[in-house]
Amino acid sequence: MTINTVKELLEAEVLCSSESLETEIHSACGSDMMSDVLAYVKDQAVLLTGLVNAQVIRTAEMMDMKCVVFVRSKRPSADMLELAQESGIAVMTTARRMYDACGILYSNGLKGNGE
Amino acid sequence: MVNEMAEPLIFHFDVDGDNFTSAGQASVQVKKNLRQLGIDPETIRRVSIAMYEGEINMVIHAKGGEADVIVSDESIEIILKDTGPGIANIEQAMQEGFSTAPDNIRSLGFGAGMGLPNMKRYTDYMHIDSVVGEGTTITMRVNF
């Protein structure tokens, strides 16, 4: 699916990098622990998280991720959005909680293993 | 490597230990530099994740330090040097899940005891040289 499809499925609000919404993504992961993201994720393009700090964006950047989704309507700071913009990472926020957001994407075909 | 290099390239960074928000800046910069050199994305990812975890560790445990990244024909070497408290038991520190990070670090998404294991996982060589009370130097290498 595209990043735009993620946005529509999660009824999310895009906060930056809206020019990359047509980017195709093939897998995702959900975690509040950045060390776990760095340990287990491979070729996953979307990070769903309830954690809000600059390290979320840097972790996504390190993993070559394309999109960060903040759950439970959490909103990143302007500094974080600037970091994401520099890295070409799309950022959005959804009112959905983590479990629901992951479930919606998964049941629409976005798997976790990159296959 | 895309181009043969006569001399290794060295990138040096001072890692600011006062501010967790800025932790990781050096790794982001290294990633950019390696991209400009035309190094393959998988190698870049391994180097930058290993360095990022190390940089976060330096900020959490040692109030910052110095980082050098040396790009040669054979490998990319990362040397992280701090004058922090040192690691009392390296074998224990290498175990997944073992952490001495304070609780507030866990609420920031780190401190799960994955840093050193991740650094080892993503590199071809890793050596920890640490003296309690004096500091730690970690050398990592990713081969081309």
Query: Which CATH architecture describes the domain B9-143?
Result: 2-Layer Sandwich (3.30)
Cβ distance B136 to B110 under 8 Å? no
Contact A36 B112 (CB under 8 A): yes
Contact B112 A63 (CB under 8 A): no
Residue A81's domain comprises 3-107
pLDDT value, residue B132: 97
- What Rg value do the Cα atoms of chain B yield, rounded? 15
Q: How many domains does chain A have?
A: 1
Report the candidate in B122, A113, A80, A79 with the shortest Cα–Cα distance to residue A68.
Answer: A80
Domain-embedded: residue A83: yes
ipTM: 0.88
Q: Residue A68: pLDDT above 90?
A: yes
Taking any CB pair shorter than 8 Å as contact, residues of chain A touching chain B are 32-36, 38-39, 51, 53-56, 58-59, 61-64, 79, 87
pLDDT value, residue A20: 81
Q: Residue A40: pLDDT above 90?
A: no
Report the candidate in B13, B7, B137, B2 with the shortest Cα–Cα distance to residue B72.
Answer: B7
Domain-embedded: residue A26: yes
pTM here? 0.92
Name the helix (H) or strand (E) containing B35: helix B25-36
CA distance A54 to chain B (A): 6
Q: pLDDT tens track of chain B, all 144 residues?
A: 555 667 899 999 999 998 888 999 999 999 999 999 999 999 999 999 999 999 999 999 999 999 999 999 999 999 999 999 999 999 999 999 999 999 889 989 999 999 999 999 999 999 999 999 999 999 999 999
Provide, as residue numbers in chain B, all residues whose Cβ is less than 8 Å from the Cβ of A51: 108-109
CATH classification at residue A30 = 3.40.1390.20
Cβ distance B134 to B85 under 8 Å? no
Of B45, B52, B114, the CB nearest to A58: B52
Is the CA virtual torsion A11, A31, A98, B28 positive or negative?
negative
